[in-house]
Amino acid sequence: MAMKFEKLEPPSDGKRIRVKKGKLIVPDNPIIPVIYGDGIGPEVVEVAINVLSAAVDHAYQGNKKIKWLEVFAGNRAKELYGELLPEETLKAIKHYCVALKGPLTTPIGGGFRSLNVTLRQTLDLYACVRPVYYLEGVPSPVKHPEKMNIVIFRENTEDVYAGIEWKKDSEDAKKIIEFLYQEFGIRIREDSGIGVKPISEFGTKRLVRKAIQYAIDMRRKSVTLVHKGNIMKYTEGAFRDWGYEVAKDEFDDRIITEQELWEKYDGKQPEEKIVIKDRLADNMFQQILTRTEEYDVLAMPNLNGDYFSDAAAAQVGGLGVAPGGNIGDYIGIFEATHGTAPKYAGLNKVNPISIILSGVMMLEYIGWNEAAKLIVKGIKKTVKQKLVTYDLARQMKDATEVKTAEFGNYVIKNIKETKLFKRI
């Protein structure tokens, strides 16, 4: 029976994506919820929807179609429901499994830490996935940005980001300091604030499992565990150990460790095997600059992932165009990594690449890789033609500055002009 909603109107000619035996079952006409978001959200999301729909149409010659369903969060939700994140929105995303999302304003003060964090926590979207690759023509601060082609899996729920902390001089901070002294003889300065860094076997294994499965599905070459285990042995060091454990216990026939690569295979990677390696986080930051092409899929705890994602994106000049997704066991929300840029709202000026590429991740997630590839090609061609929005135009030589919607139309034109390979 169809799910009943109070204010939402699911398209009657669409079907929901289901989960069966641990796999997504995607119909040809999936209903996909979309949050337009605040500020520049609506204008970039609209372009993304047009581009995605056009690519799907072209790739499958009309045999597949996304049925979009607007669901509400942020200011639009406040007007319609009287609250920023209505229960019905969460219910719809859970029911339909996959969603596209524009940026949301973080309300200052009040109960919410952030709507985005609340969404991730409520739906247990434990993997923040960020692909980082180069779009030719985008200005970059390094000599060879094209060497970068990685996918970061950042743990989203644990680590020092769990929000367990106490203010200096608070009763609770004093209690903790006293407890540590009485029970363990550990002395902490009295004027300290205290934070806790939990990293669990469960949280680590489900994240690393996802990263390895992704590497297998997408025919990637390696998964690197990035940690600071030399200093934080029982949290970050354990992250590394549990990561290797899940690799050995669950993917033994598909993986080899870096050590085995040299000891058993003389450094020559067998075609069907994925190499599991690990690097200390500080080393990783220099390796990604000096030996960029040696890295592929990376899995890391929350804080490392936060820093590393932006540093890597900056290297390809793509902080403003970088896509992202937050994914749980099955539910995935794909969203731009930038915010609502309120000063540009309604001006039809900003760059929609970040949200479009997040849509590409969404298409890959549901297995519509042909449409995904068409879009990446279309964007690359448009950027190469130097038809770009203000942010790229101001850094490129001889570029033509175009509006948000115009950029989308050029990408669609390039998609439609792409010849399809016929399947035999």
Residues labelled catalytic? 161, 228, 282, 306
Give min distance, CB of 39 to ligand NAP, in A.
Answer: 7
For the chain, the C-alpha Rg in angstroms (whole number) is 23
Give min distance, CB of 93 to ligand NAP, in A.
Answer: 15
Residue number closest to ligand NAP, CB atom? 339
Q: Give strand pairing partners of 277.
A: 224
Give min distance, CB of 127 to ligand NAP, in A.
Answer: 16
Burial of 271 per CB tally in 10 Å (0-12, 13-18, 19+) = exposed
Give min distance, CB of 337 to ligand NAP, in A.
Answer: 7
C-beta closer to ligand NAP: residue 59 or 321: 321
C-beta closer to ligand NAP: residue 98 or 341: 341
C-beta closer to ligand NAP: residue 36 or 251: 36
Give min distance, CB of 193 to ligand NAP, in A.
Answer: 23
C-beta closer to ligand NAP: residue 105 or 192: 105
CA distance 208 to 203: 9
**DSSP assignment string, 321-376:** T-EEEEE-SS-EEEEESS---GGGTTSS-S--HHHHHHHHHHHHHTT-HHHHHHHH
Q: Give me 424's structure tokens.
A: 């035999």
| Site for ligand NAP, rule CB under 6 A | 40, 44, 103-106, 116, 320, 335, 338-341, 350-351, 354, 391
C-beta closer to ligand NAP: residue 103 or 229: 103
**DSSP assignment string, 52-97:** HHHHHHHHHTTS---EEEE---THHHHHHHSSSS-HHHHHHHHHH-
Q: Give me 387's structure tokens.
A: 């038809």
> Shortest CA distance to 195 belongs to which of 160, 223, 168, 227?
160
